[in-house]
Amino acid sequence: MKSRMKFVEIMSLWLLLVGISGCEKTPLPDPNPEPFTLHGVFILNQGGNKQNNASLSFYDPASQTVSTVPFPSESEPGQNEALGDLGQDLLIYGSKLYIVVSNSSYIRVLDVKTKQSLGKIVLEDNEKKPRNPRYLAAYGGKVYVTCSTDGTVARIDTASLQTDGSVNVGANPEGIAASIYNAKLYVANSGFGTGNTVSVIDIATFREEATIETGLNPNIIRAGDQTFAYLSYQGNFGDIAGGFQRIDLRNHAVTTLGAYPKADFAWEDGVIFYYDITYNPVDWSTQVTYGKFNDTGESYAHPSPLITDGTQLTAPYAIAVEPYTETVYLADAGDYSNPGTIYVFDPAGKQTDAFTVGIIPCKIVFY
C-alpha cells in the first residue's frame, strides 16, 4: 500500500514535471509573458443572498496582510459604495480584474495593479430585467460571461468594456470554459438543477454549434490548452448524485470519472485539485474530502491528499492553486453568514497560512 502511494506520488510528480515542461514548450498565451511571481491574491466574497454585502479582499503575501478593496462612490465623492449583491466570479485578463456581481447584474472592472475602478458593465435585457451574470472566460481579447436569467453568453470587448454580442445557450448557464485547443467555448447549462447539457460555442462565428449531453445539473467546467475539458455536475441533491466528467474536445465524447468533485475544482498543469462535500441524509452531517489527481484512472481512484496536517474546514467553498508552485488555497465559508477564512497549504499538504476574509469567500485569483 505504502509503495503504491509512493508510486502514485512519483507518478504525479513525474506527470507534473512533464506538465510544467509541456507548458514551457507551448506556453499559454499569457498576457504577462515574464515568469510568474506572486504579487497578490484577490479573494471574492460572495456575501449573503440579497444582503448587498459582497466584498473583495486582497492578500499581500509580502506583508501577509489582508485588506478589503474599496469601491469609491461615483455619485458621492469621498464615500465608498458596496461592491454589490452576490459576488460570483473573478477573472484576471490582461491588466484587468473582472468581478461578476450576480444579483447586482454587473461586472466591475479594476486595474489589477492599482485596484482602481475602470468601470461597470451592466447586464440587463431590453425590458431592463437583470441578466444575472455568473461565470467568466476569456479568449482573444474578449471576455465571455454566462447570464443565468436569459440563458445567454454575453461577449465583452476588453478595450471598450462594452458588451458586443450575445448568444443563446441552455437555461441558466453556469460554468464556462474557453478552449485554446479548438477556439470554442463550453458552457454548462444548469437549468437550475434540471439541465444536463454543455453548449459548444464557436468563438469565431459566436454561434452555438452543438450541445453535449452530460450529468444532471452541470456546474463548473474547465479547459486548458489540452484536448480535454473537465466538468463537475451536482445532480439533484436527492436520488440523482452529482459527479465529475471528462469531455474529449476532439469528438465531444463524455467519460464519467466518478462521484467527486461535484463543485469547484482547480486544474493546474494537468493535475486536478479538488474538495468534495457529501452529506449524510440521516443526521445531516457533512463529510469533506480533499485530493488531487491527474487524469489516469488509477490516480483518480486514489487521489493524493491535499491536507496532511489534519486541518479541518467547516464548509470549503472555493479552491485555487498558485501557478507553478502547487500551493493550494482553500476557502472556508464557515456558517455562510460570518466572515470566512482562507487556508494555504504547501505541496506537502501542511498549512502554511490562514487569514480571515469576507462573508462566503467564493473565488481566489493570483497575479
- Binding residues for another protein (CB under 8 A): 48-53, 55, 68, 73, 75-76, 79, 81-85, 101, 103-106, 120, 122, 124, 128-130, 149, 192, 194, 237-238, 262-263, 277, 279, 281, 283-284, 286, 315, 317, 333, 335-339, 358-360
**For another protein, the closer CB: 191 or 323:** 191
Provide, rounded to whole angstroms, the least separation between the CB of residue 350 and another protein.
Answer: 25
Residue 231 parent element (H or E): strand 228-233
Contact 121, 162 (CB under 8 A): yes
- Here the cell at position 342 is 482562507
**For another protein, the closer CB: 49 or 256:** 49
Provide, rounded to whole angstroms, the least separation between the CB of residue 18 and another protein.
Answer: 34
What is the DSSP pairing of strand 41-45 with strand 142-147? Answer: unpaired
Provide, rounded to whole angstroms, the least separation between the CB of residue 195 and another protein.
Answer: 12
Contact 246, 232 (CB under 8 A): no
**For another protein, the closer CB: 223 or 263:** 263
How far apart CA 96 and CA 108 sit, in angstroms, is 10
Provide, rounded to whole angstroms, the least separation between the CB of residue 169 and another protein.
Answer: 17
**For another protein, the closer CB: 203 or 220:** 220
Integer angstrom CA distances of residue 173 from 48, 220, 253, 318: 21, 10, 20, 19
**For another protein, the closer CB: 149 or 214:** 149
Contact 158, 140 (CB under 8 A): no
Provide, rounded to whole angstroms, the least separation between the CB of residue 147 and another protein.
Answer: 13
**For another protein, the closer CB: 194 or 256:** 194
Can you tell me whether residue 7 is helix, strand or coil? helix
Contact 107, 101 (CB under 8 A): yes
Provide, rounded to whole angstroms, the least separation between the CB of residue 78 and another protein.
Answer: 9
**For another protein, the closer CB: 66 or 277:** 277
DSSP string, 187-226: EEE-GGGT--EEEEEETTTTEEEEEEE-SSSEEEEEE-SS
Provide, rounded to whole angstroms, the least separation between the CB of residue 328 and another protein.
Answer: 19
Provide, rounded to whole angstroms, the least separation between the CB of residue 74 and another protein.
Answer: 8
How far apart CA 17 and CA 147 sit, in angstroms, is 38
**For another protein, the closer CB: 51 or 351:** 51
Cis check: omega of the bond before 70, within 30 degrees of 0? no
Contact 257, 246 (CB under 8 A): yes
How far apart CA 151 and CA 210 sit, in angstroms, is 15
